[in-house]
Amino acid sequence: MSNVLQLESPAVSGAHEAPERSDFLPYLARKAGAACMSFFMLLVVGFALFNLMPADPVSALTRGRPTSDAQMSHLRHELGLDQPLWERFLTYVGHTLTGNLGYSYEYHQSVSSLIADRIWPTLLLMGSSTLISIWLGMWLGIRAGWRPGGTLDRSSTAVSLALWSVPTFWLGLILLVLFGSGSVGGVPAIFPAGGMQTEGTGGGWSPGHVADVGWHLVLPCVTLVAVIFAQYVTIMRSSMIDERGNPYLLTARAKGLRDEVVRRHHVVPNALLPVVTVIFLQIGTMIGGAITVEVVYSWPGLGYLTFTALRIPDLQLLEGTFIIFSAAVIFCNFIADLLYRALDPRVRRQ
């Protein structure tokens, strides 16, 4: 089993520790507790990173702007920097939990409203790439796992390894220069060079606009799929190989069923289980990929927002996107834990 592509999943490790015949509620409580602790850890890390480590957040905020001492001390008081540490932490936790993620002095807008604006493009990008990756990964994984060592198996492993070994953003740059610039090897600019819609077109759900957004989505989506589909292939493949050894296959074959039917109706439904949880465990990788892909294609989502915040640097905005990304990952890990148990009756009976 490859170490690189292997998932260190909390769901899988949790399965081994699952006690005999426990009910769903204690399990739910335990997992919810772990998720809450992770979230608490996130708050501690976020607080330490953005409120303790910068020597003076106020001078970082006002960098490049003329400010008087009075304004500085007013800002300091406004941000609560003159209060004791634990009080600041409590205020921070309170603010974060109520959705107050600070104010972006660059955009002159609250961080939460900025995030609310930019979350939809990111969800669109990640959602569409996930769907395509799942479809592609399962299609390949089922066939590779059915005949391990075959041509398809070996070539898909090689492709996965090669795609794992290149940075996501580089793949994006290459696709962009090939299909978006219109100046390489006579390939016309088939796809737009960036952004989410053509300048000047209106929003809304008109077919023209939807098609335009879809057109802009192609290259970012292909890049992200290229990076994440390998995980699905690996999981689906090893799951198929595990299932292949089961005696029920012999029964099915003894009934005279064709190979195709055995695979499709007997093996695949069982082999699907691990894949479902992996979808949710993948989100960390997805977010990492989405950030760089959004930067390359100037896709106006949370990743691009993080990038612009980095260049200024706008620490409050960075902190906001960091909290949102991490909270999403923690939440999805929790969902994966629950699904794993809900879907696979064997885990419950173990």
Which residues would be at the binding site for another protein (CB under 8 A)?
Answer: 2-4, 8, 10, 34-35, 37-38, 40-42, 45-46, 49-50, 53-54, 161-162, 164-171, 173-174, 176-178, 180-184, 193, 283-284, 287-288, 291-292, 295-296, 306-307, 310-311, 313, 315, 318-319, 321-322, 325-326, 329-330, 333
**Nearest distance from residue 261's CB to another protein, in Å?**
36
Q: Mind giving me the DSSP string for 98-158?
A: TT---EETTTTEEHHHHHHHHHHHHHHHHHHHHHHHHHHHHHHHHHHHHSTTSHHHHHHHH
Q: Kindly tell me which of 192 and 263 has the beta carbon lying closer to another protein.
A: 192
Which long-range CB contacts under 8 A does 265-269 form with residues at least 24 apart?
267/146, 267/240, 267/243, 268/142, 268/240
- Shorter beta-carbon distance to another protein: residue 233 or 315: 315
Least Å distance, CB 335 to another protein, is 13
Q: Closest distance between another protein and the C-beta of residue 140, in Å? A: 20
**Residue 55 is encoded by which pair of tokens?**
């020597």
Q: How far is the CB of 70 from another protein (least distance, A)?
A: 27
Q: Are 46 and 96 in contact (CB under 8 A)?
A: yes
Torsions phi, psi of 283, nearest 5? Answer: -60, -30
**In the block, residue with structure tokens 């699907």:** 272
Q: Which is nearer to another protein, 119 or 272 (CB)?
A: 119
The residue to which tokens 């569409």 are assigned: 128
Nearer to another protein, 61 or 315 (CB): 315
**Distance separating alpha carbons of residues 46 and 191, to the nearest angstrom:** 39
d(CA 83, CA 76): 10
CB 333, min distance to another protein, A: 6
Helix (H) or strand (E) holding 284: helix 283-296
Cβ atoms of residues 285 and 231 within 8 Å: yes
Closer residue to another protein (CB): 129 or 292: 292
Shortest distance (Å) from residue 68 CB to another protein: 26
Q: Which is nearer to another protein, 139 or 307 (CB)?
A: 307
Kindly tell me which of 266 and 341 has the beta carbon lying closer to another protein: 341
**Least Cβ distance, residue 327 to another protein (angstroms):** 10
